[in-house]
Amino acid sequence: MLRFKNEKKKWQMAFANDAISIDDLRLRMQEESTREEAIKSQLFAQPVLEKKSTALTQQEVMEAALNIKDNWYYLELEHKKLIIQTLFSEMVVDTYGEAVGGPGRRVACEIKSFQTN
């Protein structure tokens, strides 16, 4: 749609610079509008693809939960965080030692206590 807007602007600039006549401008603007409407009608005529909801069975959920340790490395950071927040309502972590390599490095830690949801 931006392309059509740019084309119309181009024709208007050509008219402003006396490169085309007013009749030519009207004709070109009508052509661009016709093309734009044709593209819009094609877009709206296409069926909207609905996102399929994939409900997991209880067995699939249990299998994923049992394999979470094996798959932890492959999960994205956001998913890991969401899993931890879902499973635990409270977690106490104690750090010991210093960050090796400077600021921003990971510090060794130990989970002291936790409460599940």
pLDDT one-digit tens code per residue, 29-54: 899 889 888 888 888 887 766 666 67
Q: For residue 5, how far is the Cα from the chain centroid?
A: 27
Q: Regarding predicted confidence, which is higher, 97 or 16?
A: 16
Choose from 27-36, 51-60, 62-71, 89-98 the range with maximum mean pLDDT: 27-36
Structure tokens at 37: 């409407």
Is pTM beyond 0.85? Reply is no
Of 87, 44, 46, 45, the closest CA to residue 64 belongs to 87
- 104 pLDDT higher than 80: no
Can you give the pLDDT at residue 101?
66
Boundaries of every domain in the chain: 2-45, 58-116
**Residue 14 neighbours by CB distance under 10 Å:** 15
| Separation CA 81–CA 83 (nearest Å) | 5
Give all strands (DSSP E) within 4-117, no chain letters: 88-95, 109-116
Structure tokens at 102: 């400077």
